[in-house]
Amino acid sequence: MPGFWTRTRITLEMIKWEHSIFALPFSLTAVLLAARGLPAFRTIVWILVAMVAARSSAMAFNRWADANPRTSTRAIPAGLLSRQFVLGFTLLTALIFVLAASQLNRLTLYLSPIVLLTLFSYSYMKRFTRWSHIVLGLALGIAPSAAWIAVTGSLDPRILVLTAAVTLWVGGFDVLYACQDFEHDRSVGLHSLPQALGIPAAFWAARIMHLTMLGLLCWFAILFQFHLAGWLGIAAVALLLAYEHSLVSPRDLRRLNAAFFTMNGVIATVFLLFVAADLWIRR
């Protein structure tokens, strides 16, 4: 087994910590809207700790549950990390998440086990349903609603619209990402929309999800009375989504990683910046 620092580097690579940016900007959007500006610094810190810990725990659990010959290059099958170490890391980060939730308010603490259950359940969904993509989307989509509760101690139904939008945003791109595993999923009996419908139909399903996501963002803008900057943010998201879809096709998946990982981080960050500008202009 590798030394401490090498093991730390491998662990960070395993959980893809840099991809925490996917849901983080949408959560910060909810934070700004809930506080109508910036909340207390302490609240922001504990929200960040909770988000990074929850995602790290979920990713580690996924790697633990999905260690098999297909994933032979990952840390556990390659012998770089033991199953016991990864399970211990999963439990440790889950405890950090619960601790962070307890520092925010009672409702976040009470809901923390439900959040963890939702995050962990995705790892097994492909064994039971073709709609595992929506479960993954929900795992990230609950972040804005959780952030709202963290700031206010209650749930405003309006923020659920953003949760639904993020759910479809992530779910749509997980459908595209699953196209890479089409042959493997079919051969071993795993479920996904590409496996069930075929790759061309899966692309249409992803497009419908993303168009619906844009409709939900428009509804969200109306509910929170966005001004010009907020609407420009939604327009920017629409253009970036169109560009992402132009990078791949059912016959050419070579640039799928660029579309899925790089551009999605850009989309989330752009939306946050425009909403922040909208709030600043209104003050």
Residue 78 to residues 14, 61, 85, 176: CA-CA distances in angstroms?
12, 17, 14, 27
Contact partners, residue 159, CB within 8 Å, separation at least 6:
30, 33, 34, 144, 145, 148
Beta carbons within 8 Å of 165's beta carbon, 6+ residues apart: 141, 213, 216, 217, 220
- Which pLDDT score is estimated for 265? 84
pLDDT of residue 94: 96
Q: What pLDDT, on the 0 to 100 scale, is given for residue 168?
A: 96
Tens digit of pLDDT at every position of the chain (283 positions): 556 556 666 666 666 655 566 778 999 999 999 998 889 999 999 999 999 899 889 888 888 877 555 555 566 666 667 778 888 889 999 999 999 999 999 999 999 999 999 999 988 888 888 888 999 899 999 999 999 999 999 999 999 999 999 999 999 988 988 888 777 777 777 888 888 889 999 999 999 999 999 999 999 999 999 999 999 999 999 999 999 888 888 887 777 776 666 788 889 999 999 999 999 987 7
pLDDT at 23: 77
The pLDDT value recorded for residue 27 is 92
Which pLDDT score is estimated for 262? 75
Query: What pLDDT is recorded for position 66?
Result: 72
HEC readout, 3-71: CHHHHHHHHHHHHCHHHHHCCHHHHHHHHHHHHCCCCCHHHHHHHHHHHHHHHHHHHHHHHHHCCCHHH
Q: Domain spans of the chain?
A: 4-282
Q: What is the rounded distance in angstroms from the CA atom of residue 227 to the CA atom of residue 262? A: 28
- What pLDDT shows up at residue 11? 65
Report pLDDT for 77. 65
Q: Check residue 128 and give its pLDDT.
A: 85
Q: Which of 131, 106, 136 is nearest to 120 (CA)?
A: 136
- Nearest CA among 247, 246, 238, 250 for reference residue 213: 238
Domain 4-282 has CATH 3.20.190.10: no
* Helix, strand or coil, per DSSP, at residue 194: helix
235's CB contacts (< 8 A; 6+ apart) are none
pTM to 2 decimals?
0.88
Provide φ and ψ at 81, rounded to 5°: -135, 145
Tell me, what's the pLDDT at 196?
A: 86
